[in-house]
Amino acid sequence: MIQLLPQLEGKPMLALLALCAALPACLGLRAPPPPSRAPRPSLRSRREALSLPVLSSLSSLSALSALSALSLSPAAAWASSSRTAGYAVQRPESEWAALLSAQQYFVLREGGTEPPRSSPLLREKRSGTFACAACGAPLFSSRDKFDSGTGWPSFGGALAGVQFDGAPLRAALLGAECRCAACGGHLGDLFLDGFLFPGTPAFASGKRFCIDGAALVFTPSDGGAPVVGDSPPPAPQEMPAWLTPPKVG
């Protein structure tokens, strides 16, 4: 199956379909008989929600077999591995809980997902660097940021401080977890669907990093104050009194 990849280089969707079609035979998997009533999908995470359009374009047999294989793969084990062991920045969980806000801890240390459109970093367009909210390691550059329309800060590339699961099939189908390479904090997910965003950094790289704003702190290059990604958006300014319409009645 891997031998097909060089032939399909530059054709991500064809490569994805070819991999899914070949996977059942390569692994000797058999899909169970279809249920009499299709179960309603449970969108428990951003990764599941954003991967459904890709899966819907595949045959049910290929998709089911691919998901079965991925659940048994080393990539699945990586996603559930320790966020502490092997990382340079070490703190007891009690210290992380005291250092981080409740939302930051939920995302960075528990692997949670913030609500879409909840971070002020979604609208941040200034030049600067996005760093880990837990340890301060540089993670993303504003040059790679773009508006994906998903409701989470998105980037077409990452700095060396980002660690991610390197299994291409898993990233294409389900999304691959991204972590801070210094402290192990969960950042978000990597999707190999950059070709869906023409004119953006993701289209050039083929990658879309879908990141929780709560995991980040933005420092503008002009020396302005840092923006914490889990802070609420600024309240709308009140209109001057002379612009306020008169009360009726």
Structural domains of the chain ordered from first start: 2-29+46-77 (no CATH), 82-228 (2.170.150.20)
| Residue closest to 109 by CA, chosen among 130, 131, 122, 94 | 94
Instruction: Round to the nearest angstrom and report the end-to-end CA distance of the chain.
Output: 75
- Distance (Å) of CA 53 to CA 45, 49, 62, 74: 14, 8, 15, 24
Q: How far apart are CA 237 and CA 241, in angstroms?
A: 12
Specify the residue for token string 């020396």: 223
Rounded to 5 degrees, what angle do the CA atoms 178, 181, 185 make? 60
Residue 15: its H or E element: helix 12-27
* Dihedral-angle region of residue 86 (phi above 0 means left; psi in -120 to 50 means alpha; beta otherwise): left
Q: How far apart are CA 21 and CA 58, in angstroms?
A: 9
Q: Residue 144 corresponds to which tokens in the numbers above? A: 């790679």
Give catalytic status of residue 180 as yes or no. Answer: no
Q: What is the structure's pLDDT at 239?
A: 62
Q: What is the structure's pLDDT at 81?
A: 72
Cβ–Cβ < 8 Å for 167, 2: no
| Residue closest to 208 by CA, chosen among 146, 163, 151, 159 | 146
Residues of the chain with pLDDT under 70: 1-80, 233-244, 249
Q: How far apart are CA 178 and CA 70, in angstroms?
A: 17
Who contacts 148 (Cβ-Cβ below 8 Å, separation ≥6)? Answer: 154, 197, 200, 202, 208, 210
In a 3-state reduction of DSSP, which class is residue 183? coil
Q: What is the structure's pLDDT at 237?
A: 60
Specify the residue for token string 């299994």: 167
Q: What is the structure's pLDDT at 168?
A: 72
Q: What is the structure's pLDDT at 17?
A: 53
Rounded to 5 degrees, what angle do the CA atoms 46, 48, 50 make? 65
Q: What is the structure's pLDDT at 84?
A: 79
Query: Of these residues, 20, 178, 180, 210, which one is catalytic?
Result: 210
Q: What is the structure's pLDDT at 82?
A: 79
